[in-house]
Amino acid sequence: MGSMDDALKNSIVSIHNTPFKVVVEFAGAGSEGLSWLHSVAGSSRTILEATDRYAPESLTDLLGFTPRQFTTPEISMLMANRAYLRARSLCDAESVIGLGCTAAIATDRAKKGEHRCHVSIQNGASLITYSLTMNKGSRSREEEESLVSRLMIHALAKSCGVNGVALPLEPEDSVRRIQGDESLWDWLAGQSIDYLSVDAQGLITAGNFLEHVVVFPGSYNPLHDGHRRLAELVRQRLNKDVCFEITLKNADKDQISWSEAKQRAEQFRGYGTVLFTQVPLFSQKSKIFPNSVFVIGTDTVTRLIQTRFYDDDSGKMDQSFKEILQSGCRFLVAGRVSDGQFITLADIDMPHQYACLFEEIPESEFRMDISSTAIREGRQS
């Protein structure tokens, strides 16, 4: 393995002398970087947790879905975001960092692709990615491992506000620095994911399965005070944070593009988490978010029990509700104004076999006669 020179050691000493604490997630290479961090006294002040995601199944478990490729800048971004969230859960300190590294280096079999690595750093204020492409065949596996590890230390040092380390690059090597997650939205749109999550800080994660959550579906075009007040009431009632959800493919509305989705996500920055899905039916949502509570209005309840949304087939509607029940999901229902009349759950002719899935929020607890449609029309007038 590569030796640790004075410049590298001094950089690590400086890292350990900052208040930053880090969770490291790495795959393919980077173990030497972790060893270097631990070999310098003070690593217990810096390292909260480190995981080698060597098997594809382990990295898939971290990401929440199986990507088409495992060594891309976007994978390291998602790894860093997951690491940052993990760091926040382990430590109350403000100065936490998530480091993600994914690499493809020399091995005992021929590789078709480039030898490369991507290192991302998420510190809550920014996401920085370093993408390194190495001159294939000019280094041993050990030398490539050392170069990847030096890049990890360099990225971590820069995020901690201390001097980084020089990289022993060859003329054919290339390194580029990417700021932000601009590429992540388009990249995720081409992956087999069931949901994309953007939290209040703008951190993006994705996956195929998220359970025991409170989901508040809507178009949020725009997000308004009625949404906020209802979300706060539900949060207090259930003692759980509320995740807002926007369906890109709605059963009775125009499809929302990913670029439009990104714009709508900005409304939630500094406020809450928004989930994006591509499934219009609650039976489909219940499989992505099992054992969860959906917050809906009586207007949505009315549509839920109309067979026209099930190809005019009552059998399909029955099956849909059975799947929701089997997934352990239920509905919390707020009243809405329709044709000038405030409609509550009690006003709806609910088939008795479905009634157990619905719980009403009384009008005395929540009523706010405002809609996104009315706000949009007001802006246009």
**H-only helix segments in 291-365:** 298-304, 314-326
- In whole angstroms, how far apart are CA 152 and each of 35, 131, 356? 12, 11, 53
Which residues are CB-neighbours of 330 under 8 A, at least 6 positions away? 293, 294, 357, 358, 359
Strand segments, DSSP code E, in 180-309 are 195-198, 204-207, 214-217, 242-247, 273-277, 293-297
State how far the Cα of 120 lies from the Cα of 127, in Å rounded to an integer.
Answer: 7
Helix 182-189 vs helix 73-90: crossing angle, to nearest 10: 110
Specify the pLDDT at position 375: 78
How far apart are alpha carbons 301 and 293 in whole angstroms? 14
Are residues 227 and 218 in contact, defined by beta-carbon separation less than 8 angstroms?
Answer: yes
Region of 202 on the Ramachandran plot (φ > 0 left; ψ -120 to 50 alpha; else beta): left
Q: Which residue has the tokens 């209040």?
A: 200
pLDDT tens by residue, the chain, 381 residues: 567 899 999 999 999 999 999 999 999 999 999 999 999 999 999 999 999 999 999 999 999 999 999 999 999 999 999 999 999 999 988 899 999 999 999 998 877 899 999 999 999 999 999 999 999 999 999 999 999 999 999 999 999 999 999 999 999 999 999 999 999 999 999 999 999 999 999 999 999 999 999 999 999 999 999 999 999 999 999 999 999 999 998 767 789 999 999 999 999 999 999 999 999 999 999 999 999 999 999 999 999 999 998 999 999 999 999 999 999 999 999 999 998 899 999 999 999 999 999 999 999 999 999 887 777 777 766
What is the C-alpha to C-alpha distance for residues 74 and 120, in angstroms, rounded to an integer?
9
d(CA 64, CA 84): 15
Name residue, tokens 């380390």. Answer: 165
Q: 90: helix, coil or strand?
A: helix
pLDDT at 191: 95
Selection from 296, 279, 92, 99 nearest residue 193 by Cα = 279
Coil, helix or strand at residue 107:
coil
Class of the 193-380 domain?
alpha beta
Task: For the chain, give every residue range classified as CATH 3.40.50.
Answer: 193-380
pLDDT number for residue 1: 53
pLDDT of 108: 85
CATH of domain 6-184: 3.90.950.20
* Tokens describing residue 284: 């489909």
Q: How far apart are the C-alpha atoms of 342 and 181, rounded to whole Å?
A: 43
Phi, psi of 263 (to 5 degrees): -65, -40
CA 7-10-13 angle, to 5 degrees, is 155
Q: In this structure, which amino acid lies at residue 350?
A: M
Range(s) for CATH 3.90.950.20 in the chain? 6-184
Q: Please give the Cα distance from 221 to 39 (Å, whole number).
A: 53
The Cα–Cα gap between 361 and 292 comes to 17
